[in-house]
Structure formats: structure tokens, C-alpha cells
Amino acid sequence: MLTTLKNIKKTSSFTARMAPDALFPTLQSVKEAPEELLRKDRYLKSGNFTWVYPEQRPEYKMLAVSPPAVHDIGLEAAEATSDYFKDIVMGKKYVEDPFPYAQAYAGWQFGEWAGQLGDGRALSLFETHNPVTGKRYELQLKGSGLTPYSRFADGKAVLRSSIREFLGSEYVNALGIPTTRALSLAELPGTTARRGRGKEPCAVICRFAESWVRVGTFDLLRNRGDRPGVKQLADYVVDDVFGGEDKLLNNDHTRDAIAKSAIPYKHNNRYVKLYREIVTRNAYMCALWQVFGYLNGVVNSDNTSVYGLTIDYGPYAFMDAFDPNYTPNHDDGLLRYSYKNVPTAVWWNMVRLGEDLAELLGVAEGTDLENLTKSEKNELLDTAEAVITSAGEEYKAVFLYTYKKFISKRYGLLEQRDSDFDELMTPTLNMLEDSALDYHRFFRLLGDLPFFTGENASKSEPADFAPDVEQFISPEKNINAIKTPSQTRTELSQFLADFKKRLAAENNTDDAARKVRSREINPKFVLRSWVMQEVVEDAHKGDYDKLERVLNMALHPFQETWDEDWDDEEARFCGHVPKYCDSIQQTCSS
């Protein structure tokens, strides 16, 4: 039965298994330390975390709570209004057992080594255990103050970026993409942060995940040359995060794809299985990013989850007009994290993880890693290299299996055919790119279009579909289109004629049934950047009505309507992208 936040079982497996900051090795030392010293920026030569509590703010104001998130961690719906709940998730108060902590990690950012990073404005509160499902989540505050890992920053999160993360986390979850979650969003009246040339209001978000361990957590230990630490972390992830070696490579998302690919591994110890689990989870997640046109914007190794979760919502966006070169990150001049390059970027991070784990990937049980001969080291590294190579093939196989499976559903197809990738999907994306057509509206409208009933039942030639193509074309010409409107109409007409033949070939002629299937995977509402900008602008004026309404749409993106009193705004948010609002970019400022 569901419970309250006060009564729910709380643990902290990371601090129970991993080593603390050597400067404050016990909770007693933390409680006795001057606050300024506890939060002082420093480089850790050892240890994986620092116990630290939220900074106190002058005021706290709860803005929004996600009802599905409340339910998923195992709380009663009414709990969202309790003072205890609000005090904890806003950072006004904290639980001392287990004690909050900030995690240390490092990372590769834009392909360059960035050194130690860590939770610079976030801290983990505790793990909750859902009393109904048994599912464990780790709750974390973001924007809760300085930690030893804040570096040159202030430990704050502005309202603008907090709204974006809150909405984005829950929308991505509603689409079915693995992600960290957002439980609540609170404003901090009287607390501001300087970003750019001005000051912005601040906020704190309470988010949760199965684990907050990142590839960067391993990067830090390898960079230190901490062999025991790498093994300790790997064992923790196997045993505590994934629930034991027997659970590896057996999750519902990737099991079938792994079995079908049958990639051979000459060496498959506990750590190879762990590596493969992380690789295939990230392949699955990345494939769904591509299917739904999601772009993270900063796929650095410190933003790559070992659990295969979409994590750290910074300059993210959903595709508007289809453009494989689009990156939502204004600072990504080399397009490293553009749509077309994201699968490679994620794999690049997986290679870095393989290097972090290299000695463990090739080791036999009981081997003393500290006293290896040169030939033994070379043999071990050769084995690790072979494992990483095989994992690369497995990553590709799981990615393609997942992408084809779900993109076929977006088309409304009943069957996957080997020829579809080259004869249907690739040409369609080329058409969308050349004509700068809206990626999401295309699939939604395609699913709604009848091919075998009404006036369209007798249509077969491209010219017959001329009246149907207009709905796919935005009234605002996109400057990125290289095809003229006339050429776009001709290509769309040809596509619709060919697509009708593809549907008929698999006996997929029940328009009503296809429409139902299509609407289950093609959202009516897309959380676009311009919509979030409007929410943020209103919030900066103290008006949170749009935040509440857009949250409801984000939680239920496949619905046809949400609030009959808001029909006009809903239609606008689900319609064509306004002029000058297509493919907006954000900076990393947050």
C-alpha cells in the first residue's frame, strides 16, 4: 500500500558501499565542521562523495508536483500537499539518517578531458523503496547550494532551466524513453543568480533515478589510477544498482535485441557483462532519442548514465523541422551533439567507459592486478580491446533493432521489412530535410490520413493525393528548405501514393485501426522549445497558470484534449511552429 514520504523506507546504498571524502570521513566530522569549510571547493585525491546538506534560503514556494512521479516512488496522492513532503523536496529541511551527499565524478566534455566535476549544485537525499512494487529510487535536489564540487559556480539553479528540466523529464518519461524523473519544482523567492549580464530568480527541483552513477564516476577513479576504487564501483553497480550478476543482460528493453544479434564474446566475466549491460541500455535509450527527435545537447561522459537514462536536462530540445545537423546547444559549433552525430557521441562515451574498465574486462577471477607482468598486462589489454570491439557491434545491433522497431510503429506499419530502412525510412527523412517539414507533425498527420476509406479509397496516382499534402506544409516558409513549395508538394504526393502501396502490401488497410495505433506512439503535444519559453516568461512575471497547464499536457501527450477552457491555447501549442521559433538553440547557462 502507498505511504508517506516520512514513513517510506529510506536507504543510501552509495554512501554505504563507497568511500567518503577523506577530509570528512565520518558523519560526526561533517556535523562538527564549519559550513564554509564543508562546502569549500577542492579536488578529492580519494573518496567518491562528500556528505553535505542543503543551503538554507530566505523563502521557499512550491510551484508544481508531478502526480505520476509521486505515485511511482510509492507515495499517496495527498502526500504532495503535506508540509513534511514540501519541506524535504524543497530543501528547507533534510533527513539525517541517511545523510545527504554530493557525488564526485569527472568527465570528457566535447571530446576533451575536463577533470574532476561532481555534483556542484545537487545532492542526493536518500533512496526510497516503493512499498507496492519494491522499486528503489534515489531522490536528489538540484539547485540546493554549494558543494565541494561547485568549482567556479554558485551552487544555484535558475528558474528558467529548472522549469525546462521539470517539464522535460516528465515529458520524456511519458513518451516511454528511459529518463531521470522530476518530482517537484519550487521557486526560491529572494534568491537570485547572475547569469550572463543579469540576475535571474532561482529554483530547486527534486528529481529521482534508479541510480545517479555516471560514466564520469568511473572516469574519475581511472584518472586517479585507483584500481581498487574502479573495482569497488563496478561491484557496487553490479550488486546494488542492477541487483546482481544474474540480472545483467536480462532487462525487457534489450533482451531480444541482444539475443538476435548473437555477438560473440571470447571473454564474458562479471565485468564484461556489466559493460555490455551499460552499453546496450545506452544504445536502447539513444535509439529512442532518434525515433522521437530528442536532442540532449550535451552528451558528455559526465552526462551519461550507467543505467541508460536520459540525464541532466540542459540545452535539450525536440526536433521541429527535420534537420540532421540541428543541435540545440548554441555552444556546439562543431555539431558534435547534432541529431546525426548523437549515436556516435554516445558510443564514444561507451569506449571511454571500456577504457575505465579495461583491466577488469580482461581479468580472470582472483588475479592480482597490482603485480602483473608486462606480458600479462598486454594480454589483459588485448582481451579488453576485443571486448570493446564486440560491444561496439552489439551497440550498433541493439540501436538498429530498437530504432527500426519503434520508427515502424510511428509509420503505423504492422510489419518490419528488411527493405524499409533503405526504401522507406531513409528517403522519407531526406524528403523531410530537403523540404524542412515538421518531424512530429508529419507522423501524426500520416497516422490520421485515411488511405482506404472515403474519397481516398480509389486514389492510386501521386496527383490524386495533391489535396492531402497541404496539411503537412507549414504556412511559414522555412529558410532551411532547399526544395520549392511546388517540389515539396510533388514529393509528398509521390510519397503518399507509394506509402499506400506499402500499407496494402502488408494488408494494413484498416484506417481506423492504424489511426488508433499511430496515436499511441505519435504524440499530439510535443514539448517544443518555444512553448517552454512562453512558460518561463510567464513564470518570471509570477504567473504559473501556463506551467500547470503545460505540465498536464506533458504528462499526457497522447491525449486529444486536456482542458476545454483552454482549447485555443492547446491548439496553438499543438499546431505549426510560429515564425522565428523553429529550431531554437539554448546555451549551457543554467
**pLDDT one-digit tens code per residue, 165-175:** 999 999 999 99
Q: pLDDT digits over 227-284, tens only?
A: 999 999 999 999 999 999 999 999 999 999 999 999 999 889 999 999 999 999 999 9
Looking at the structure, tell me whether residues 87 and 144 fall in a common domain.
yes
- What value does the mean pLDDT take over residues 290-318? 97
Cα–Cα distance, 263 to 388 (Å, whole number): 12
Looking at the structure, tell me whether residues 329 and 431 fall in a common domain.
no
DSSP 255-304: HHHHHHH----S---HHHHHHHHHHHHHHHHHHHHHHTTEE-S---GGG-
Looking at the structure, tell me whether residues 25 and 79 fall in a common domain.
yes
Query: Is residue 107 included in any domain, yes or no?
Result: yes
Looking at the structure, tell me whether residues 377 and 462 fall in a common domain.
no
Burial 69-101 (b: 16+ CB within 10 A, else e): bbebbbbeeebbeeeebbebbbbbebbeebbbb
Cα–Cα distance, 235 to 437 (Å, whole number): 48
Cα–Cα distance, 588 to 331 (Å, whole number): 8
Q: Helix, strand, or coil here: 576?
A: coil
Map grid coordinates 499536457 to a residue: 553
Nearest Cα to Cα of residue 135 among 190, 184, 71: 71
Task: Say yes or no to pLDDT of 346 above 70.
Answer: yes
* Residue 436 grid cell: 524542412
Task: Say yes or no to pLDDT of 590 above 70.
Answer: no
- Of 212, 244, 269, the last residue of a domain is 212
**Which residue segment(s) compose the domain that 32 sits in?**
10-212
Query: Is residue 108 included in any domain, yes or no?
Result: yes
Looking at the structure, tell me whether residues 306 and 376 fall in a common domain.
yes
Map grid coordinates 513549395 to a residue: 485
302 is catalytic: yes
Q: Helix, strand, or coil here: 346?
A: helix
What is the C-alpha end-to-end distance of the chain, expressed in Å?
A: 38
Looking at the structure, tell me whether residues 223 and 361 fall in a common domain.
yes
Q: pLDDT digits over 162-213, tens only?
A: 999 999 999 999 999 999 999 999 999 999 999 888 899 999 999 999 999 9
- Of 345, 375, 409, the last residue of a domain is 409
Cα–Cα distance, 94 to 75 (Å, whole number): 18
Partners of residue 64 on adjacent β-strands: 185
Query: Is residue 580 included in any domain, yes or no?
Result: no
Structural domain total, the chain: 4
Query: Is residue 45 included in any domain, yes or no?
Result: yes
Query: Is residue 38 included in any domain, yes or no?
Result: yes
Cα–Cα distance, 359 to 431 (Å, whole number): 47
Looking at the structure, tell me whether residues 175 and 308 fall in a common domain.
no
Query: Is the N-terminal amide bond of 475 cis, ω within 30° of 0?
Result: no
153: which residues sit within 8 A by CB, 6+ positions away? Answer: 120, 121
Cα–Cα distance, 267 to 63 (Å, whole number): 52
Q: What is the mean pLDDT of the chain?
A: 95
Looking at the structure, tell me whether residues 340 and 323 fall in a common domain.
yes
**Of 2-16, 184-198, 364-378, 452-466, highest mean pLDDT:** 2-16
Query: Is residue 585 included in any domain, yes or no?
Result: no
- In the chain, what's the furthest Cα-to-Cα distance? 81
Query: Is residue 587 included in any domain, yes or no?
Result: no
Looking at the structure, tell me whether residues 376 and 432 fall in a common domain.
no
Looking at the structure, tell me whether residues 453 and 335 fall in a common domain.
no
Percent of the chain at pLDDT > 90 equals: 88
Looking at the structure, tell me whether residues 221 and 313 fall in a common domain.
yes
Query: Is residue 374 included in any domain, yes or no?
Result: yes
Partners of residue 140 on adjacent β-strands: 124, 207
Which secondary structure element, helix H or strand E, spans residue 11, and what is its range?
Answer: strand 10-11
**Amino acid of residue 430:** N
- Of 191, 212, 233, the last residue of a domain is 212
Q: On the CB side of 386, how many CA atoms lie within 13 Å of its CA?
A: 14
Cα–Cα distance, 216 to 311 (Å, whole number): 13
DSSP 37-68: HHH-----SS-SEEE--PPP-S--EEEEE-HH
Q: Which of 302, 320, 323, 511 is catalytic?
A: 302
Looking at the structure, tell me whether residues 192 and 232 fall in a common domain.
no
